[in-house]
Amino acid sequence: MTVTVGERIVAEIRQLDKKGSGQAAVWRENDQGSMKKLKLTIPRTLPGEKVDVTVDMPEKRRRLAVPNEILEAHPERIAAACPHFEKCGGCVWQHWQYEGQLNEKTNHVKDAIEAQGFDPNLVLDTIGMDNPWRYRNKMEFTFSPDGSLGLHEQGNFRKIISLETCLIAGEEMVAGAMEVADWAKSHQLSGYNKDLHEGLLRHLMVRQSFATGEMMLALFATEAPAGELKEAADDLVQRITEKFPQVKSLLWLENTDWADRTQSEETHILAGRDFIYDEMDGYRFRLWFDTFFQTNPVQAQKLVDLAIEMGQPKKTEKMIDLFCGVGTFSLPFADRVGKLAGIEIVETSIASAKRNAADNGFDNTYFLAKDARKGIDEVLESFGTPELLLLDPPRSGAGGKVMRRIGRAKPERIVYVSCNPDTFAIDIKELEQFGYSLKVVQPVDLFPHTVHVESCALLVLR
């Protein structure tokens, strides 16, 4: 087959890539008469489907193509619930029955550990949600240069899709965001242009505790709310305080850095305080705008319960919580062990962990702000070998050096909480040489309608 620019072809979806998009391939004849394979990435498709697509730039070997029509649909295909699904990059699998999503995530974890030589039968079925909607307690929206508020278009970091709703965020959170969007429009405030590095409004972060109901609205802008902006800022305060009494933290954060991150050079408290209170497992936490906290509290509670069930903590034991963050796992375990040491490289998170431990009345915890590998050495020297070690590293994993240091420390039991099956499998492979056996892996779906899957695993020293 010779594929020309703008030609419509039929492609069969063989598999999904790591971003959840369909993968297909067609053979085409080039100008020299040789057959070459054209690999297509086709979003919003499912394995086994036949789709009609239009190919542009067929001289390239890899192309992104949008389906014109689904010719043969997957039996689990459904209509997406959100009106923005076709363009918005917030979700990728709303067109897939939830049970199918869970099976795909289970298989992802199985494939990852099998690739490292582990038995895939150790992976249990993914624990899903009874209601996989409105599950997020934090959202980060972005302003487009014209001042509209929304989320990035799928596969296009430069384009913002204006939103009228978002079905994975709480209703009150969405209502608060839409109020800020209306405020920006009424004052004709510009959004930030990433190419020209000009404009006022960059991001809006919304957080709300499912337990306390407290909400935070954090507006990121390139200027302070002073001078001509003072009147607009005062109007924002009036709108929010009148309509949303649950907002206990209304912030204006200055960010002039070119990097497109939600960071602050100076924080202005427009109303309330600079943090909100949240609760998990009966423990109270203070959350600032930059605090990492599990964004799905319903499923996060299941992760904590799993970690405790697997770890079997005892009052006579010592424990290390590596990559402890603000103490999400530390506090429930501190209630069940004799001593607990938490290690985390982010100093503000350690300050929060110490404060959270004090707020909840713990006196058996020690928190250290240090790189994981060096932190383990320091804690072991003063703390001794723990019977139990829990780690919850970022998506990049803990890394070989950290895992080998854990192996040499020889805790009896290791609970690994992972947000990336591939780096998890590579990490635990390092522990085999130190005599550890993988006993069980339990995936948990914290992010329905996306490709992401968390898991909790137990490794025991033979």
b/e sequence 166-188, b meaning 16+ C-beta within 10 Å? bbbbbebbbebbbbbbebbeebe
The enclosing H or E element of 423 equals helix 421-429
Q: What angle, 0 to 180 degrees and rounded to 10, lies between the N-to-C axes of helices 400-409 and 372-383?
A: 10
Neighbours of 77 (CB within 10 A): 16
Residue whose token pair is 């972060």: 205
Neighbours of 400 (CB within 10 A): 12
Please give the Cα distance from 97 to 76 (Å, whole number).
Answer: 5
The amino acid at residue 125 is D
User: Is 419 designated active site?
Assistant: yes
Nearest by Cα to 151 from 164, 161, 159: 161
Half-sphere exposure of 33 (CA within 13 A, CB side): 0
User: Would you call 449 helix, strand, or coil by DSSP?
Assistant: coil
Please give the Cα distance from 430 to 427 (Å, whole number).
Answer: 6
Enter the tokens of residue 421. Answer: 């099956």
Q: Which entry of 88, 91, 166, 419 is annotated as an active-site residue?
A: 419
* Residues annotated as part of the active site: 419
